[in-house]
Amino acid sequence: MTVRIKEETIRRKASKGQAGEGTEYVDLKQVKIQFIPMPKNAAELKAIDRTGDNGRFVTAALLIAAYKTWTPQNEDTCTEMMKALMNSPVSPDTFTNHTKQFVKDRMLQNGKWQCIADAYCDGATPENNYRPSSPVTITLREYPYLPQKSTMTGKELLVEKIVSDFAGADTERSVSVYKDPTDDRWYLFSDSCRNLLGDIKGI
């Protein structure tokens, strides 16, 4: 499995200070990710490097890849891929039956499973029925604020947000990720995977 990553720095407006008084422009890292080929099961997903600074973006992009595999006839492939992204050494039971049911309910809502993952890929718009450009790439960026501390797992973790600006909604969507100190891999934090399954335009 090969992962091509193109990095750039973008400027975005952000609230100034904790009180949110006024705004300022900040430099943020943005990456364009291409999987060659797109992973189609948990074994292929696990073979992809999720360490290093770019591992946080790769982890979020792999969630989109997992959602691409979900069908009413086969939930298991997506489930196993999500387990690999969510169940870490420090939090081995993050993926639950409740998470699986939530994903199923959202995927079946208005046939969302047919396009929700593609909606986060570059070139996909409501006007072209969410058909991604070829080759398929996913563009993600940093959140403009500092990571938040969490002790949900019993250990203090720094949780970062990875943001997608996409044509399916008028506002950005994000997932939360953290680096497990045991294996230095990035994982999805809690049930933030749900954030990408909201309604999209035209569906």
List pLDDT tens digits, range 33-87.
999 999 999 999 999 999 999 999 999 999 999 999 999 999 999 999 999 999 9
Q: Is residue 29 part of a domain?
A: yes
Relative orientation angle of helices 76-86 and 55-68, to the nearest 10 degrees: 160
Is residue 140 one of the residues assigned to a domain? yes
What gap in Å lies between CA 118 and CA 129, rounded to an integer? Answer: 9
CA 141, CA 192: separation in Å to the nearest integer? 16
Q: pLDDT tens, 11-24?
A: 988 887 655 578 88
How far, in Å, CA of 39 to CA of 29, rounded? Answer: 24
Answer whether residue 138 is part of any domain. Answer: yes
Closest CA to 129 of 203, 51, 19, 41: 203
Backbone phi, psi, residue 162, to 5°: -115, 130
Query: Is there a domain that residue 41 lies in?
Result: yes
Contacts of 184 (CB under 8 A, 6+ apart): 51
* Residues spanned by the domain of 184: 2-197
Note if the pTM is more than 0.85: yes
Detail the DSSP E strand segments found in the chain: 2-15, 23-36, 138-142, 148-150, 157-164, 173-179, 186-188
In a domain, 202, yes or no: no
| Cα–Cα distance measured from residue 94 to residue 103, given in angstroms and rounded to the nearest whole number | 14
pLDDT in tens, 111-151: 999 999 999 999 999 999 999 999 999 999 999 998 999 99
Token look-up 């399916």 returns 168
> How many folded domains does the chain comprise?
1
In terms of DSSP bridges, do strands 2-15 and 148-150 run parallel, antiparallel, or are they unpaired? unpaired
Question: What's the pLDDT score for residue 124?
Answer: 98
In a domain, 38, yes or no: yes
- pLDDT tens digits, one per residue of 174-199: 999 999 999 999 999 999 999 999 99
Mean pLDDT of 163-176: 96
